Amino acid sequence: MIDTKAIEENIRGILVALGDDPEREGLKDTPRRVARMYQEVFEGMNYTNHEIAEMFNTTFEEGIDDEADMLGRVVVMRDIDIFSYCEHHLALMYDMKVNVAYIPKGKVIGLSKIARVCDMVGRRLQLQERIGKDIADIISEITGSEDVAVTIEGCHSCVNARGIKKNNTKTFTAELRGEFQRDPNLQVYVR
């Protein structure tokens, strides 16, 4: 669990290390505010991938008589907005768009649950590559399908606002599994 008291103490120390006075009017409540923000934006750190899968395991078999009914079907959810924080610099990864696709194996997941999985996975110290892998692992666990694809495009403030300072740079990652890895025709669903 996230230790908000320890975060408050450390933020106070960072303010001092930056040469500022944590008791001045504008900063008095900053350590508490940052601790509450961290509790919110890093909520996903409280859960394993398996626990997230259990949390959002809402599937439906209605209207699916057998697996033959699912042949040729693909479920795709596009442009799911998420954010995360880079584990290397604690910098914001923003304007992230996630595309998730899977081939159903007898059941489908509730659509809002796909977005909730993406959101919860992003709420960790992360790498964009791992976000895609974690989402794919969870979707595969919930649906029972090995045929899963997750693509992500996003901006990284550790590239845009510091260091090399390339403002228009976006990073694209793809986690392709099963038929999405083998069949290039399926990859068009997540581009």
Which tokens hold the place of 93? 């990864």
- What is the enclosing helix (H) or strand (E) of 6? helix 4-17
Examine the residue annotation and report whether 88 is marked as an active-site residue of this protein.
Answer: yes
Split at pLDDT 50, 70, 90, the class of 64 is: low
Give the integer Cα–Cα distance in Å for 5 and 7: 5
Catalytic residue among 9, 51, 87, 129: 87
User: Which of 86, 141, 146, 181 is flagged as catalytic?
Assistant: 86
Q: For residues 12 and 29, give the distance between their C-alpha atoms in angstroms, rounded to a whole number.
A: 10
Supply φ then ψ for residue 99, to 5 degrees: -115, 130
pTM over the 0.75 mark: yes
Q: Which amino acid is at 46?
A: N
8, 128, 155, 175: the catalytic one is 128
Catalytic, 128? Answer: yes
Phi-psi region of 12 (alpha: psi -120 to 50; beta: other; left: phi over 0): alpha
Is 89 part of the annotated catalytic residue set?
yes
Whether 118 is catalytic:
no
DSSP-assigned letter for residue 88: T
50 assigned to active site: no
Tell me which amino acid residue 165 is.
K
Per-residue model confidence as pLDDT tens digits over 72-115: 789 999 999 999 999 999 999 999 999 999 999 989 999 999 99
Q: Which one of the listed residues 51, 54, 67, 88 is annotated catalytic?
A: 88
Span 154-169, pLDDT tens digits: 999 999 999 999 998 9
**pLDDT score at 32:** 98
Give the tokens for residue 78: 């596009």
Q: Which of 39, 89, 141, 181 is catalytic?
A: 89
**96-105 residues labelled b (16+ CB within 10 A) or e (exposed):** bebbbbbbbe
Rounded to whole angstroms, what are the CA distances from 179 to 104, 105, 183, 187? 12, 13, 6, 9
Catalytic one of 153, 158, 181, 187: 158
